[in-house]
Amino acid sequence: MADATTQGAQGTGSAAGRADTGLVKGLGLFDATMIVVGSMIGSGIFIVSADIAHQVRSPGLLLAVWIASGVMTLIGALSYGELAAAMPHAGGQYVYLRESLGPLWGFLYGWTMLLVIQTATIAAVAIAFAKFTAVILPWFSASAWIGKAGTFGPWHLWFGSLGPYHVGLNRQNLLAILSIVLLTWINTRGLRMGKIVQNIFTVAKTGALAALVALGFWFATSAARAANFTDFWRHMGWSALHPYPPDSPTQMIGTLTLVGVAMVGSLFAMDAWNNVTFTAGEVRKPSRDLPLSLALGTAIVVVLYTLANVAYLRVLPISGDPHAATVLGRGIEFAADERVGTAVAQVIFGPAGAIVMALAIMVSTFGCNNGLILSGARIYYAMSKDGLFFRSVGAVNRRHAPGAALVVQCLWASLLCLSGTYSQLLDFLIFAVVIFYILTLAGLFLLRWKRPEMDRPYRALGYPVLPAVYLVMAVFLEIQLLRYKPQYTWPGLIIVLLGLPVYGLWKWASAASEK
């Protein structure tokens, strides 16, 4: 399907590089790579290792979880490079699903991104920004309510318990909302303004994470060496069984299943690598720079994340006492508020470490959200161009930014900030995200079969073996999450399925308006 919309997105436009759609081709290789790196590095790497450690309770398995997630992410990025180079249009993954599986699947992806994946991630990262701001400025407390609508739940459903959700406005989520509004305003000022902010904050936070890695390697502690490296591969083995959940051993699961279930946090920390594809219509040399930025950006982050966890293991014992008075006594597993990065900084810098790490994470989350906000709006813009969203969302403002799409995204993400905590906003994400990664990789195979004549400036590295490996790993992960974390998976699946009647109503309304 090569309709007017996609042709316009591919055109070069005026001498200034303006595409026929009104979007400006202003992103080079460095800019695109900074979107990949900046969208991936947020707050997750500083937090989620505590939960993973609590589940696996093994230094070797902790690294195995991060390495498995890194392998999946790299294969996904290398495979998406083919689709990005062949279809360099605004909307990215939405376009790939539309072209390979049909408009319904593209709509379901855009619907889920708007309703929960992109906007809930923006909300969660904004709350993380506000949470770490409160370390420096305690006035921004989550307990300081400005107006509370009430507490809803917990609801005990057949697939598990949900909630409780404390809904309302407090000083912490007020700051989160203000940060979303500010970044949205910056991006309505045009692509140039958005990419400048992205580049500055990405370079700063990448340097900060690299510095944390270097310091962790340099300031290794004897307690960590004794606890983590004397029996590094404990609990590892094909036949080894592990109690699950860890605190209530009602069932035993194998090592591979445990790694799969524990990958939720690490996959979230590595997610958003595909966001650069949403801005494909604004990349100057998409056939070269999109595959390169995906490969370079994900490789940088996967290496940094793996080294960061090695650094954690060199400074903190993997397990400890949740009631211990010291950060070394609590270890990675029971780090206060799961802030592993902060605990490492406190060991290295003393009491000032909490402030140092809070500043680093504030920079990291602010830059992360800029990338998410900049790129996410392009999905709803592309849907509108296809007649699958409000027509006004498909317009650009006088600075050639999708202003209406940015505002819609801002409003919904701000509302989500009122609905729960950081962890609750993330509960439903990964299962839904991986569903669409599976569908898109399946679409890669389908397009090779259906449209062999398609121009493919870059072909997926290791095809068909590596994409098939990704699909096997992803399907295995989804099955294990359905079995062992149903309270997180079924709601995400239900949200996707709710898009079916919405799609039918939208098509019916569109057909009726044309008569």
Q: What are phi and psi of 389, to 5 degrees?
A: -155, 170
Nearest to 261 by CA among 238, 274, 243: 243
Q: Which amino acid is at 182?
A: L
446, 213 Cβ separation under 8 angstroms: no
d(CA 213, CA 360): 13
Q: What is the pLDDT of residue 490?
A: 80
Task: Check the CA dihedral 291-294-300-306 and report its sign.
Answer: negative
506 or 282, which is more confident = 282
H or E segment and range at residue 385: helix 353-385
CA gap 75, 293 in Å, rounded = 14
How far, rounded to the nearest angstrom, does the alpha carbon of residue 208 sit from its chain's CA centroid?
20
Compute the average pLDDT of residues 148-156.
67
Please tell me whether residue 168 adopts helix, strand or coil conformation.
strand
User: Residue 491: pLDDT band by 50, 70, 90 thresholds?
Assistant: confident
pLDDT tens sequence across 4-61: 333 333 333 333 333 335 888 999 999 999 999 999 999 899 999 999 999 999 999 9
As a three-state string, the secondary structure of 239-279 is: CCEEEECCCCCCEEEEHHHHHHHHHHHHHHHHCCCCHHHHC
- Rounded to the nearest 5°, which phi and psi values hold at 43? -105, -15
CA distance 384 to 246: 46
pLDDT of residue 451: 95
Reported pTM: 0.91
- Exposed, middle or buried by CB within 10 Å (0-12, 13-18, 19+), for 462? middle
Give the span between the Cα atoms of 157 and 154, in whole angstroms: 9
How many angstroms separate the CA atoms of 1 and 499, rounded? 23
* Mean local confidence (pLDDT), 366-394: 93
pLDDT over 50 at 380, yes or no: yes
Q: Are 378 and 279 in contact (CB under 8 A)?
A: yes
Non-local CB neighbours of 421 within 8 Å, separated by 6+ positions: 127, 142, 166
* pLDDT tens per residue, range 338-347: 889 999 999 9
| Pairing assessment for the beta strands 241-244 and 145-152 based on DSSP bridges | unpaired
Name the range with the highest mean pLDDT among 177-191, 252-266, 323-337: 177-191
Tell me the C-alpha distance between 493 and 486, whole Å.
10
User: Which residue intervals of 11-113 are DSSP H helices?
Assistant: 29-40, 49-56, 59-86, 93-101, 103-112
Distance CA 277, CA 218 (A): 38
Q: Which residue has the tokens 């307990």?
A: 143
Weakest-pLDDT range from 235-239, 252-256, 403-407: 235-239
pLDDT-wise least confident of 64-73, 111-120, 427-436, 469-478 = 427-436
Q: What is the pLDDT of residue 487?
A: 74
**Domains of the chain with CATH codes:** 24-514 (1.20.1740.10)
Question: Tokens for 308?
Answer: 């960061």
Which of 270, 266, 315 shows the shortest CA–CA distance to 53?
A: 266
Q: What is the pLDDT of residue 5?
A: 36
